[in-house]
Amino acid sequence: MLVLAGIGVGAFFGVRELTDDDDAAPAPPVAVERDDEAKAPEELGFPAFATKNTTRVGGSDAVANAAGVALAAYPSTGGVDGPAAVTLVPSTDWPTALAASVLTADPVRAPVLISDGDEVPDQTATAIDALRPEGSADTSDAEAFRIGDVEAPDGTRTIEVPAAEPAEMAAAVDRLRERLTDRDPRNIVVVSTEDPGFAMPAAAWSARSGDPVLLVERDRVPEATTEALERHKRTPVFLLGPESVASEKVARELEKTATAVQRVSAEDPVANAIEFARFDAGTFGWNVADPGHGLVIANASRPLDAAAAAPLSAAGKWGPLLVTDEADSVPAPLRGYLLDIKPGYRSDPTRAFYNHAWLIGNNSALSVAFQAQVDELLELVRIQPPPGTPQTGQPEREPR
């Protein structure tokens, strides 16, 4: 279940709804009561729901998180249109879910929701009811993309990518992307199925950029991946993760097909995600090395949360996915990175740049203590000028 906060459908998924439009799906009644005793923080929803620099989508699993994120990214009420389609991925196949994140990118913009082979989970069905996808030219009139062995609500117009091995599914999603957008990718992201923590950040980038995600194993490049690369021979390839998850043998195999292969990696998932967030190769990489950005944080042990959170990197405060291997405190590499991009001001905080982080999952994934630490690390601070600095009396340009 989720933290209940706010008004409207979004509250059901732990995301604050911004309007009480009558056309929205029904919500629990809101009662205002006078209580002489102070409410516990968890009853109020703060800080478990939000702090001044963080917002949590507090699902107990990826099904709930995907539904909450979709409603946060597409409020779909108050006269605001929802997405033209949604992407349904299986709850048992995180590599395929990561690859399907590319359908979140412009122009398709179909957020990832999670389904099963025998029925549509209640929270997914409720989200679809609220989002009301109607199809468009960008989705080939489909209201949902069924990626693998998943069910869609009765009566939904769908395009299906049949179930297969993960590498084949990723290649098939790339073909679907190409069919829908009629454009070649600028880059290709290759990740390994050996350790999901290293692969998770690819979902956010794919959603932001439209670059497809293809799959390898530690010491093998599947035939489906090779065939996909052959279709895009002139497209640069970026291999995400160290040799422990995708060996140098794999890199050499990729180089036989791709024009250029570059590895982006660090030795553990936390540092690997940070390296990717900092990385810049022109049309590839976030290049987030200064203040003024959105961030998304998930637990490396919950890889489906990366696909669920993908829409947050393709709208609003666009930003990379960072991961943690600790639920109760911010690990040292992540702490150092957040300090590196900590925003500051000299004279006027209203002219400064700000950071904001979305946290994905309930307190078991990321504790309230973790959230409080992130909030402090993102907080705007005043920069004191060096002693003896002359005062000009002119407004200062705030540092970025």
User: Could you read off the pLDDT of 283-295 as tens digits, one per residue?
Assistant: 999 999 999 999 9
For residue 69, count other CB atoms closer than 10 A to its CB.
31
Answer yes or no: is 396 within a domain.
no
Distance (Å, rounded) from C-alpha 359 to C-alpha 357?
6
Residue 81 scores a pLDDT above 70:
yes
Average pLDDT score over residue span 77-104 = 95
What's the pLDDT score for residue 7?
26
Answer yes or no: is 292 within a domain.
yes
Distance (Å, rounded) from C-alpha 153 to C-alpha 134?
13
Average pLDDT score over residue span 98-107 = 98
Rg (CA), the chain: 21
What's the pLDDT score for residue 389?
59
Answer yes or no: is 162 within a domain.
yes
Answer yes or no: is 269 within a domain.
yes
Average pLDDT score over residue span 223-233 = 96
Peptide bond into 107 cis (omega under 30): yes
Q: Which domain holds residue 215?
A: 9-382
Percent of the chain with pLDDT over 90: 77
What's the pLDDT score for residue 23?
45
What's the pLDDT score for residue 46?
54
**Type of residue found at 317:** K
Answer yes or no: is 258 within a domain.
yes
Question: Which of these ranges, 172-176, 219-223, 332-336, 340-344, has the smallest mean pLDDT?
Answer: 340-344
Mean pLDDT (the chain) is 87
Distance (Å, rounded) from C-alpha 345 to C-alpha 291?
11
Answer yes or no: is 397 within a domain.
no
Answer yes or no: is 161 within a domain.
yes
More confident residue, 11 or 97: 97
Percent of the chain with pLDDT over 70: 84
Answer yes or no: is 390 within a domain.
no
Average pLDDT score over residue span 152-170 = 96
DSSP code of 234? T
What's the pLDDT score for residue 115?
97
Average pLDDT score over residue span 193-212 = 98
What's the pLDDT score for residue 29?
39
By DSSP bridging, strand 50-51 and strand 54-57 are antiparallel
* Full DSSP string of 14-35: TS--S---TTSPP---------
- Domains identified in the chain, total number: 1
Residue 28 scores a pLDDT above 70:
no
What's the pLDDT score for residue 328?
96
Q: Which of 296, 325, 274, 89 is nearest to 204 (CA)?
A: 296
By DSSP bridging, strand 237-240 and strand 213-216 are unpaired
Question: Which of these ranges, 124-133, 141-150, 172-181, 343-352, has the smallest mean pLDDT?
Answer: 343-352
Helices (H) and strands (E) counted in the chain, each on its own, are 14, 15
Confidence of residue 327 (pLDDT cuts 50, 70, 90): very high
- Cβ 316 vs Cβ 299: under 8 Å: no
